[in-house]
Amino acid sequence: MIVVQGLSKRYGQHTAVDAISFKVEEGEIVGFLGPNGAGKTTTMNIITGYISATEGKATVAGYDILENPLEVKRTIGYLPEAPPLYLDMTVREYLGFAAKIKRVGKAQRQGNLDTIMDLVKIADVRGRLIKNLSKGYRQRVGLAQALIGDPPVLILDEPTIGLDPKQIIEIRNLIKELGHERTIILSSHILPEVTEICQRVLIIHRGRIVAEDTIENLSAGLSGRSRLAIRVAGSEKEALKICRSIPSVKSAESAGCREPDTIDLLIEANEDQDIRRPLFREMAEHDLPILMMRSVDYSLEDIFIQLTTDEKGVS
Amino acid sequence: MLAVFTRELSAFFKSITGFIFMGIFLLITGIFFMSDNLIPQSPNYLSVLGGITFVFLVVVPILTMRMLSEEHHQKTDQLLLTSPLSIGSIVMGKYLAGVAVFLITLIITLLYPLQLSLVGSVSVSEIAGGYIGIFLLGCAFIAIGLFVSSLTENQVVAAVVTFGLLLLLWILDFLQQGLPGDRFSGIVFAILIVVAVAIFLYFTIRNVFIAAAATIVGGGFIAVLSVVRPASFDGLIVRVLKWFSLLARYRDFTGGLLKLSSVVYYLSFTAVFLFLTVRSLDARRWK
């Protein structure tokens, strides 16, 4: 549905986006993840035709954004980083205006707007001036604007920013629901959000894609091995010594003391080794009772931090 | 285009600019009407129309300053530019909304000559010609203001620059008298024009070769002409400025003279600035 090839955007000396290439299939929900200033917004602005790339090519639904800009724009619903709202209009007027410029026929317009206002739950503020709305409502009006005309592609730049926790959950569920029949790209720096909504994630850092995979594969690619957190009653020195004596333990380190007379350890095993049983036996033999044991997954956070700090991709 | 037009028109009256424009315009023309017609009991309405050109200097910047700069500043241009609208229709919608506000105001001022016709004799053709002239002049000024508004996201800057440009056009008439009319200064002036055109070409299409080619062709033309017909550079500056002067042409209208060439001149002046506005919005994407 969306094909991007070698897209670059330079502002003078500064390269905001550096030869990015990716594909988004029809019906997919893809997340752009990256720290501030990574190039997420710039990439989205290029795909939607708001700015032009310095180099490279992007097509949406088979239309090139430079050759057939109007066709592309008709296909896309875009929620920019700051929702483009006319503060002097009421919600109803604003959405009516958006429907007109998006060429929604007069006959469908009213029905389309009513459905959308119910969907994003802004029907109760339809008569109010946008400048009097809270940030959360403004964000939802912006989202409503993107949904007008039922575009097959949605591009959402930080859609849940400024919402309260309950609204965030609602909007996430809404996006997931919308994703059943639409192609969606959304950007976020909130990692759990991407984990929850997206099937696939592109991690962007300093204008480049440093990783592109499903969330499961990304975690697996980084870990391939397991980590355990344990709490043992006993001295730190002894516990560490015992752990390190087990052959399949790769590393063990202290994670501090959180309960009197106990010590927490973080143990990393060699690849594909289950160390829980040997660990239990060794500790029991030395009379160090294990009070707690849990496995620690590599979260998207770990992947993200690793990728964006040392700039090496995961295989 | 219609959607942009209606939104823009309603925005004029939701924000205060539409009322300020109409208010100041009607206030000052009203004062002119009183001092020129009512108090001296004169039926000569054309002197009031002549004064309106002066009012334009102040009120046109108010009308046009926020038209595009505010969209840029509030980032609402993202909605317009990512919707299936061509840039041309965005610019036209906005421009026509500005012209509509102006036209409404102008229609209100028709009350003055109407009042005069009740008590004295007025020449309908003269007044009609004057109004057509005022309307065309206003259209050209609004196009300039719209263009300036597309260059900045600061409304105040837009207003001040528009005012400066209109003032420049206004004093172009007076300037002519003091300017040198000899052959050499004519040649220098022609060279400056060629250089300006080349620079403009370079910045709009960003192609060094076309800009260089334009310089060479223009320079060659000046060189040949200065040898073959040096007399054509005599008084060139004054002639060009006279041709450019929007206001000199306006006087034809208030004289009751409807010249086709002047109408075409105003319309093409407007078209050039609307085209520049479209180019400037388009160029912003590449920055």
Q: Reduce the DSSP state of residue B112 to 3 states and report it.
A: helix
- A127-141, B118-132, B196-210: the lowest-pLDDT one: B196-210
- CB atoms under 10 Å from CB of A246, counted, come to 17
CATH number of the domain to which A85 belongs: 3.40.50.300
B206 touching chain A per CB within 8 A: no
Q: How far is B141 from chain A (nearest CA, A)?
A: 26
User: What digits encode the pLDDT tens for the residues A150-192?
Assistant: 999 999 999 988 788 888 888 889 899 888 889 999 998 777 7
Q: Clarify whether residues A197 and A232 are in a common domain.
A: no
- A160-174, A215-229, B5-19, B27-41: the lowest-pLDDT one: A215-229
Dist CA A280 CA A293 (whole Å) = 10
Residues of chain B contacting A87 with CB distance shorter than 8 Å: 74
For the segment A12-37, the average pLDDT, to the nearest whole number, is 88
pLDDT at B187: 85
- A268-282, B38-52, B66-80, B238-252: the lowest-pLDDT one: B238-252
ipTM: 0.82
Listed by number, the residues of chain A in 80-139 with a beta carbon closer than 8 Å to a beta carbon of chain B are: 80, 82, 84-89, 97-98, 100-103
Contact assignment for B82 to A82 by CB distance below 8 Å: no
Q: Clarify whether residues A95 and A184 are in a common domain.
A: yes
This prediction has a pTM of 0.82
**Looking at the domain assignment, is residue A311 inside a domain?**
no
Contact assignment for A82 to B79 by CB distance below 8 Å: no
For the segment A253-276, the average pLDDT, to the nearest whole number, is 84
Q: Clarify whether residues A134 and A21 are in a common domain.
A: yes
Residues of chain A contacting B77 with CB distance shorter than 8 Å: 84
pLDDT at A298: 64
Q: Clarify whether residues A247 and A208 are in a common domain.
A: no
Q: Clarify whether residues A120 and A263 are in a common domain.
A: no
Examine the fold and report which residue of A187, A220, A253 is the final residue of a domain before the chain moves on: A220
- A40-44, A66-70, B182-186: the lowest-pLDDT one: B182-186
Query: A227 or A100: whose pLDDT is higher?
Result: A100
* Total number of domains in chain A: 2
Q: Are A99 and B6 in contact (CB under 8 A)?
A: no
Residue A197 has pLDDT above 60, yes or no: yes
Residue B256 has pLDDT above 70, yes or no: no
Contact assignment for A88 to B11 by CB distance below 8 Å: yes
pLDDT at A143: 93
**Looking at the domain assignment, is residue A305 inside a domain?**
no
Strand partners, B267: none
Residue A313 has pLDDT above 60, yes or no: no
Q: Clarify whether residues A213 and A229 are in a common domain.
A: no
Q: Clarify whether residues A84 and A229 are in a common domain.
A: no
Residue of B nearest to A151 (CA): B83
Strands A29-33 and A183-188, by their bridges, are: parallel
Q: Clarify whether residues A117 and A178 are in a common domain.
A: yes
Residue A222 has pLDDT above 60, yes or no: no
CATH number of the domain to which A240 belongs: 3.30.70.3190
What tokens were used for A58? Answer: 């992007």
Residues of chain B contacting A48 with CB distance shorter than 8 Å: 82
**N-term to C-term CA, chain B:** 26
Examine the fold and report which residue of A220, A246, A264 is the final residue of a domain before the chain moves on: A220
Q: Clarify whether residues A64 and A212 are in a common domain.
A: yes
**Looking at the domain assignment, is residue A315 inside a domain?**
no
Q: CB within 8 A of A86, min separation 6: which ones?
A: A94, A97, A130, B7, B11, B74, B76
pLDDT at B184: 82
The domain in which residue A150 lies consists of 2-220
Q: Clarify whether residues A194 and A146 are in a common domain.
A: yes
Q: Clarify whether residues A131 and A214 are in a common domain.
A: yes
**Looking at the domain assignment, is residue A92 inside a domain?**
yes
Residue of B nearest to A146 (CA): B79
For the segment A61-71, the average pLDDT, to the nearest whole number, is 91
Dist CA A66 CA A57 (whole Å) = 8
DSSP symbols for A203-260: EEETTEEEEEEEHHHHHHHH-SS-EEEEEEES-HHHHHHHHHHSTTEEEEEE----ST
pLDDT at A251: 83
Q: Clarify whether residues A212 and A237 are in a common domain.
A: no
**Looking at the domain assignment, is residue A304 inside a domain?**
no
Helix boundaries (H) for chain A: 40-47, 69-75, 91-101, 106-119, 135-147, 165-178, 191-197, 215-222, 236-245, 276-285, 300-310
Count CB pairs under 8 A between chains A and B: 62
What is the number of alpha carbons within 13 Å of residue A260 lying toward its C-beta? 0
Residue B15 has pLDDT above 90, yes or no: no
Listed by number, the residues of chain B in 7-46 with a beta carbon closer than 8 Å to a beta carbon of chain A are: 7, 11, 14-15
Q: What is the mean pLDDT of chain B?
A: 87
Taking Cα atoms as reference points, which of B142, B76, B97 lies closest to residue B277?
A: B142
**Looking at the domain assignment, is residue A37 inside a domain?**
yes
Q: How far is A262 from chain B (nearest CA, A)?
A: 57
**N-term to C-term CA, chain A:** 26
Testing the interface with A: which of B10, B14, B78 to mutate, by most A Cβ within 10 A?
B78
Taking Cα atoms as reference points, which of B2, A116, A135 lies closest to residue A126?
A: A116
